[in-house]
Amino acid sequence: MKTENIQEEIKEKKESSLKFDSFGFKDSILKGIQKADFRAPSPIQIKAIPAILSGADIVGQAHTGTGKTAAFGLPVLNMVKNTGGVEVLVITPTRELAGQVSDELFRLGKYANIKTTTVYGGQSYSHQIKNIKSGTHVVAATPGRLLDLLENCKIRSSVFTPSIVILDEADEMLDMGFLDDIQRIFSFLPEDRQTLLFSATMPPPIQKLAKIILKDPKFISVTNRETTNKNIEQHYYVIEERERDDAIIRLMNSQDPGKSIIFCRMKKEVDRICTLLVTRGYTAKGLHGDMEQSQREEVIQSFRDGKIDTLIATDVAARGLDVLDVTHVFNYHIPFDPESYVHRIGRTARAGRKGVAITLVTPLEFKDLKRIQRLVGTNIQKSKIPTGSEVRKAYVSNLLYEIQAQGIKEEAKEIMEALEEEMDLSLIAYKLVSFLLDKQEVVGPDQIGISERQLKKILYFQNKNQMNKRKFSNNRKKRPFNKKRINN
């Protein structure tokens, strides 16, 4: 089917009813989508995929977590022609993101026999060059190592002539000082190419770069109201500063997440909370910038594989982290800016799944929460932390259901026969249920958090104090200058 016909067909359909098979992908790519358990295309995918399939250069503005890797990955994988050399180049700001992009594109293109490789510092040159020469179709690279290979002629143009080049998270590259490297890299690339640039923000240097490396690009933007995934249920809980640890533990107990990420501001907080959770019986590990690259990769892989259920991370360490089955994101502290909030909560509800984002705030941070809510254009619901007795009651109710649904094992009969020699059946049952109840300890005080009434009172006095300060400041400005008052 021709690309023009695909685009016309897509335009006739409502975006809400679109499915991945609406784009005219090859069967092998559709199989990769199905195996990855992608449910429905996200807004950026709906807008970007037809434009990329048409062969146009693209400037895409979208935050991390909106599905942009698949937005550019699926159409370019569908366009791979198997020429025997590198056809697709993805440039990313960090090693972690390069690895994750490479892994996702491999997973989506596996049934089309598409090979991917990563190129970044800290790994053997010979290993990376060998992978490129062996017929890889897609290279995901960081700017420093890629430029090194190109400038020192370590990869031949006969195997490295990408016809599609993607610049991912361009604003991050600007912040990390890679913009000059990027421009030099493009001087080595074929003039006849399709170029795609994706960035969460569009500062002037990125706009200038886009004019240099793209030709008549189409502009695609996900608006503020689309930056947070509609499948993410967002809650905030107002607490006292001293209650953060108790609040995290209580919410983890009551929410019972499948796989979760807790975001912290500082490395020392990551280590401390990791220790706290492990002592409470959670399988948890930390992720921060002081760790060696190999350690970070090992932790991320353990999290992906389900060997650990909880990841405690700083923003920098978790940038670009892509794990499909994260059910909950917890903000131990409120992030400093709206972009960080969107980035953090975007770790859950990926590929059409549902997710929950939870933020802890103190009354002093309440204005920051409202600012983020206003700028992001999202609804964050105020919720109450369950009491200890409520958590205990929910556990008892759940235990009743689990006991009724539990099958009977052969060893259970042997244990019962041994116990019946010492006790009657009712006493055995009471002891076994009590044993199970002891396994679920509800820690911390019964009540955690600030009530609605307390919050209103605190905010009232905060606003009153601010008004008095402004009034005092204005009076000082209006007061006439008096030399006598100074001299006296």
| Domain layout of the chain by residue ranges | 3-222, 232-385, 389-438
> What's at 243, amino acid-wise?
E
Q: Specify the fold of 3-222.
A: Rossmann fold (3.40.50)
d(Cα 25, Cα 80) in Å, to the nearest integer? Answer: 12
Instruction: State how far the Cα of 220 lies from the Cα of 60, in Å rounded to an integer.
Output: 5
pLDDT of residue 278: 94
Residue 487 has pLDDT above 50, yes or no: no
Give the model confidence (pLDDT) of 161-182 as tens digits. 999 999 998 988 887 889 999 9
For range 150-162, the mean pLDDT: 86
* Predicted TM-score (pTM) of this structure: 0.64
Higher confidence at residue 236 or residue 15?
236
Q: Would you say residue 12 has pLDDT above 50?
A: no
CATH architecture of 232-385: 3-Layer(aba) Sandwich (3.40)
Lowest mean pLDDT among 317-321, 349-353, 368-372: 317-321
Asked whether residue 414 carries a pLDDT value surpassing 60, the answer given is: yes
The pLDDT of residue 488 is above 50:
no
- Residue 312 in 3-state DSSP? strand
What integer pLDDT is reported at residue 478 of this predicted model?
A: 58
- Residue of 369 and 374 predicted with greater confidence: 369
Q: Is the pLDDT of residue 205 over 50?
A: yes
pLDDT in tens, 242-253: 999 999 999 999
Question: Which range has the top average pLDDT, 58-62, 171-175, 469-473?
Answer: 58-62
Please tell me the number of Cα atoms within 13 Å of 275 on its side-chain side. Answer: 5
User: Which amino acid, residue 308?
Assistant: I
- For tokens 């089917």, the residue is 1
Instruction: Identify the weakest region by mean pLDDT among 24-28, 106-110, 353-357, 469-473.
Output: 469-473
pLDDT of residue 16: 53
Query: Which own/partner pairs from 458-464 qualify as long-range (CB within 8 Å, at least 24 positions apart)?
Result: 458/363, 459/363, 459/366, 462/363, 462/364
Per residue in 123-142, pLDDT (tens digit) is 888 999 999 988 899 999 99
Asked if 3-222 and 232-385 have one fold, the answer is yes
pLDDT of residue 485: 45
Return the pLDDT at 7: 56
pLDDT of residue 1: 47
Helices (H), 36-178: 43-53, 68-78, 95-109, 125-133, 143-151, 170-175
CB 139 within 8 A of CB 161: no
Rounded CA separation 409/431 (Å): 19
Q: Tell me the mean pLDDT in the region 392-419.
A: 87
Mean pLDDT of 448-453: 88
Mean pLDDT along residues 140-153: 93
pLDDT band of residue 479 (cuts 50, 70, 90) is low
CA–CA separation, 296 and 307 (whole Å): 14
The CA–CA distances, whole Å, from 14 to 10, 62, 378 equal: 8, 21, 23
Question: What mean pLDDT comes out for the span 85-101?
Answer: 90
> Residue 194: helix, strand or coil by DSSP?
strand
Residue pair 357/329 in contact by the 8 Å Cβ criterion: yes
pLDDT at 299: 92
Q: State the Cα–Cα distance between residues 384 and 239, nearest whole angstrom.
A: 10
* Interatomic CA distance for residues 408 and 406, integer angstroms: 7
- Alpha-carbon distance of 6 to 435, in angstroms, equals 62
Q: What is the pLDDT of residue 318?
A: 66
Residue 37 region, left (φ>0) first, then alpha (ψ -120 to 50), else beta? left
In a 3-state reduction of DSSP, which class is residue 83? coil
**Count of other CB atoms within 10 angstroms of residue 73:** 27
